[in-house]
Chain A
């Protein structure tokens, strides 16, 4: 099955509630902690943010701004000693089906490189065409990639890349860490969605297709009815540019649609880290993350 065949043919929207809880237990007291969160879903034409809220414990005064990439950032600091940090980000959003669910989608798929060439030449997409530390491919992998996508149009190339990664890579939580590059994950043939996305970005860019990292959430069940709740986690996938931005989710070999909630975009993971911080105190900590998604409608 082509990933461009939408998994859900209903044209309606979904309403999803997300509750993302992060608990850090430090091995001793911690102070002077400065943090940034990127956990608030985007509000765009394809996705409506109905509500969002971030709670922090110990109590802090969160402050918000929108960053260069258009992502809503929550920042806060904690001065007093504390031994644990709890962050609870809750939101309700409405999602749309994949662009490929539109009847006119076939027309979009004219498989032409012209638009890409013009846009790349203008320099406007420079950030999404240059390899980064986490997305760079080995020369051998580039060669292998060329054999697979040579002669294909951009959408077909994206589809093949998505399928290839899905087939070659095993989804193994814990196989990689936050600093793992796509290349390293590919060597080990295992990783998590962050790695799948980095590999996809690297391959798309190497094939001449501008690509970006997407951070967000995924409702794990393909089939569901309103009222169903489910454990998830924060998810990452990929968008490529071919006249417009189109999504591919190499972890699941699908085009993102109703089940995908977008938080932000960037060149790679480092541009949309869900939680980053710096503090004084105990170097070790235990991290517990739970994401609960509920389909409301």
Chain B
């Protein structure tokens, strides 16, 4: 029988499973041995099973205008206990620094006075919302949920690629992947001590309840979704169900005298914590886009008055702008007095004329990213781009240097991925999810491993044709007294870093109708001078 790993060719990148041809790393030995027992036909069968399980549960995403099952690869991504410890510490540190930065930016602004970050960088960022200034979260938390994207460089070092603290999504894949893998390959888990992921909803609910206004003994928590048309609706519904809270849309909520109320069959009920999966721009038409009908007018002032907590807080985008990213190592030193546990990918800021010139001269060797893009949109990978793309890029970047950063290309690590009849190396990244309840930042052991399914491709986002892998964090020899049976959990849908605003309002923008939402403004005029 031909070994399915026979033709597995290692490239220049760090390979997650093999340190040398035929030599699996210790953490992967059991997985490798288990996979060896299957022949290609059997693997195909399992792959079909997985796809069907996803379609059945509605875990699909829109790709090229078509609903497809989100591809889950058969080979899990395994992270040894020691490696995870580093990620866990690094992500916690990062989230604490991001929190401190946001509290500063929307408060005393010390980092500007101390010249750590130029004020202009924050003021010109699209995620900085002046309307959120002065809103003080009850327990100090703005980033209740964070998704910190990591990649592994050629030396096997984890580096932070970007931070997501607006509406990070994808955790439902983590839960769903585990559920389906356990069913499809029960034997794979037999000899492994894999840390469970199914207490995520409990942790999230605990953090949300901790964010509620102090006077409330038993807070009402809801999940606010843009609606079924949103690509991540499955995730919203799943999390609401697993937490045992209401899933609501904007029209189910309304504000009266700075209090948020929910319309229920039993009448009106006050709401204290809103886990919102709606972008800032759409959440309150009084302060942001007035045509948004998926939001709740008055909700921002309710948060300002302290009667409701919005999670994540409005304005968190000030911290995950890709230009701010370049300052995070400095911010870790400034706020926490620590050295960063996880390094950034080497990045150029373009506001300096000389640096800009250097970057414009080396576009073919660099990766250029729009600073406020999400989901891999707008990224140009220089070494893979044609002349015309680079020429266009040159024009765009010269026109708006604040809008871009340039990064050294990272040869993302590879992992064996099933392709029709054998395993081949494909590039992967990792998005660990962190939940902050104000006392502790907890990092879900695992996270979402995304895989670029096309050979050689480096963009792993599902909207760009990516898939995912079940991510196993192995329990350490000593400490972890956690259950290691990953059997029960639930499901997911598709989405990347942030919600696509186009999805968020799909088909739901109100026209100026007779009973539609109306705006009123008063023009400033000076009177005639006669009295």
Contact = CB atoms under 8 A, between A and B. Distances in A.
Interface residues of B, number: 45
Interface string B101-114: 00000000000100
B373 to A, nearest CB: 21
B531 A77 contact: no
A287 B529 contact: no
Interface string B328-345: 000000000000000000
A123 B123 CA distance: 9
A276 B529 contact: no
Interface stretch (B10-18, B20-28, B203-211, B520-528): B520-528
11 contacts: A34-B297, A63-B305, A68-B134, A77-B298, A122-B118, A194-B523, A221-B531, A229-B531, A234-B524, A278-B286, A283-B514
A123 B118 contact: yes
Nearest to A39: B522
Nearest to B523: A178
Contact of A281 (B121, B123, B518, B529): B518
A228 B531 CA distance: 10
B131 A65 contact: no
Contact of B524 (A30, A192, A220): A192
Contact of A65 (B134, B518, B520): B134
A197 to B, nearest CB: 8
Given A234-B525, A279-B518, 17 more contacts: A32-B254, A34-B255, A65-B134, A122-B118, A124-B119, A124-B120, A171-B526, A194-B525, A220-B527, A231-B527, A233-B526, A236-B524, A271-B130, A277-B520, A280-B515, A280-B516, A291-B527
A215 B524 CA distance: 8
A235 interface: yes
Contacts of B513: 283
B201 interface: no
Contact of A276 (B121, B123, B256, B521): B521
Contact of A251 (B115, B526, B528): B526
Contact of A289 (B121, B285, B522, B529): B522
A35 B527 CA distance: 25
B519 interface: yes
Nearest to A276: B521
- Chain A CB within 10 Å, residue with most, of B120, B258, B516, B528: B120
B133 A67 contact: yes
A66 interface: yes
A79 B256 contact: yes
Nearest to B304: A65
A257 B495 CA distance: 56
Nearest to A284: B518
A282 B119 CA distance: 43
B486 interface: no
A289 B523 CA distance: 10
Contacts of A283: 512-514, 516, 518
Interface in B164-192: none
A278 B522 contact: no
A216 to B, nearest CB: 9
A77 B527 contact: no
A68 B118 CA distance: 18
Interface residues on A, range: 35 or more
Interface in A89-145: 122-124, 126-127, 130
Interface of A: 22, 24, 30, 32, 34-36, 61, 63, 65-69, 75, 77, 79, 122-124, 126-127, 130, 171, 173, 176-178, 192-194, 215, 218, 220-221, 228-236, 251, 269, 271, 273-283, 285, 287, 289, 291
B124 interface: yes
Contact of A67 (B118, B130, B528): B130
B523 A67 contact: no
Contact of A218 (B301, B512, B522, B526): B526
Given A65-B304, A67-B133, A283-B512, A193 B524 contact: yes
Interface string B491-512: 0000000000000000000001
A63 B523 contact: no
Interface string B273-298: 00000000000011000100000011
Given A34-B298, A75-B301, A235 B520 contact: no
Nearest to A230: B531
B517 interface: yes
Given A231-B531, A233-B526, A279 B301 contact: no
A132 B15 CA distance: 49
A66 to B, nearest CB: 7
Q: Which of B133, B526, B530 has the most CB of A within 10 A?
A: B526
A68 B526 contact: no
A-B pairs, 4 with minimum CB distance: A123-B120, A126-B120, A123-B118, A68-B133
B267 to A, nearest CB: 15
Contact of A68 (B130, B285, B525, B530): B130
Contacts of A231: 527, 530-531
Contact of B519 (A32, A126, A276, A282): A276
Contacts of B517: 278-280
Residue among A24, A66, A231 with most chain B CB within 10 A: A231
A167 B323 CA distance: 44
B524 A235 contact: yes
Contacts of A171: 526
Contacts of A79: 256
Contacts of B256: 77, 79
B520 A275 contact: yes
Given A67-B134, A79-B256, A277-B519, A130 B124 contact: yes
A80 to B, nearest CB: 11
A221 B526 contact: no
A66 B134 contact: yes
Interface in B112-141: 112, 115, 118-121, 123-124, 130-131, 133-134
Contact of A192 (B131, B523, B530): B523
B257 interface: yes
Interface centre among B112, B118, B525 (most CB of A within 10 A): B525
B522 A274 contact: yes
B442 to A, nearest CB: 32
A295 to B, nearest CB: 11
A272 B329 CA distance: 36
Contact of A234 (B115, B285, B516, B522): B522
Nearest to B517: A278
A278 B526 contact: no
Contacts of A36: 286
Contacts of B118: 122-123
